[in-house]
Amino acid sequence: MDKENREAIVKIAINRCCGGFSLSKAACMRYAEIKGFELYPFLDKWTMERHPDWKPDDDAILIHYSKIPYTGDNEKEACSDENYWSDRTIDRDDPALIQTIEELDLKASGRHAKLGIVEIPDDVQWTIEEYDGMEWVAEIHRTWN
C-alpha cells in the first residue's frame, strides 16, 4: 500500500494489566523533558516520616511531582494547582507521552502498570474504558438508560 492510500492513525496510551495507568519516575522525568518543563519529585511529610531514607533519585510508589523544588516547608505551594503535576492528567494521545512510552518501553510503566499503545483511525471519536485498571480504547457511541 502506498503512502497516499494509508489511513491516518492516532496513537493512544493505555494500561494493559490490572492496577491502573501510571508512569515510572523515569517516564515522568522524560515526559517533562520532552515538553520542556522541570519536575521535582518529592514525598509529602506524612510519607517522608514513613520513608526517612528516601532520596529524590529513588523510585517510590507514593512519589509526587511539583514544578518547583519541594523544601518540606513549602508543601502548600508545591501542591498548589499551579505547581503540582500528575501523570493522570496527561492526554492519552499526547505525542510526548507516546514518544516517552516508545522510547522507554517497559521502563515507562509505573508500579502495577503495563503500558502499551493502541493505533486507531484518526477519524474515530474514542474514549478509554477500563475494568479493574485494565484499559481498552472504545469508539464513542450513544447510550441511554
User: Which parts of the chain have pLDDT scores under 70?
Assistant: 1-5, 54-61
* Beta-carbon contacts of residue 134 (< 8 Å; ≥ 6 apart): 15, 16, 17, 18, 19
pLDDT digits (tens, 9 = 90+) for 111-145: 889 999 999 999 999 999 999 999 999 999 887 88
pTM comes to: 0.85
Give the residue extent of every domain in the chain: 3-139
